[in-house]
Amino acid sequence: QVYVEESGGGLVQAGGSLQLSCTASGRTVSNYAMGWFRQPPGQGREFVAAVLLSDGQTTHADSVRGRFAISRDRALNTVILQMNSLEVEDTAVYYCAYSLGWRLGDITDARMFDYWGQGTQVTVSS
């Protein structure tokens, strides 16, 4: 069992910044990647960013590239999502996800991840 916990959400004005943090604990010997997804109000869950824990390779969604940056501290099983130039459209519940191992598929697909956090609310006001 792996436990995933997010922190750092909140309310911010458009153009501002927030930093989300996520820590995985428990049986983390098997580890491949960690990522962030979000679910805007009334919409489905969408990919935001992911990082491979072995080498730090990152992938970002087109909608956030250049504004958001994911990074990891492998020793601490922690990932950080730095969000800058926030827009009202970034309002969503943000979920952290943990992948045990590689499987055939795209890292942007939620099915690549095995454990999920409860989510943290990010609200961007105009």
Q: What is the pLDDT of residue 74?
A: 79
Residue 112 DSSP SS3: helix
Phi and psi at 88, nearest 5°, equal -55, -35
What are the contacts of 58-67 at 24+ separation with CB within 8 A?
Answer: 59/107, 59/108, 61/108, 63/89, 64/90
Q: What is the mean pLDDT of residues 9-14?
A: 96
Higher pLDDT: 103 or 98? It is 98
In whole angstroms, what is the distance from residue 26 CA to residue 21 CA?
17
What is the average pLDDT value for the chain, to the nearest integer?
94
Length of the chain: 126
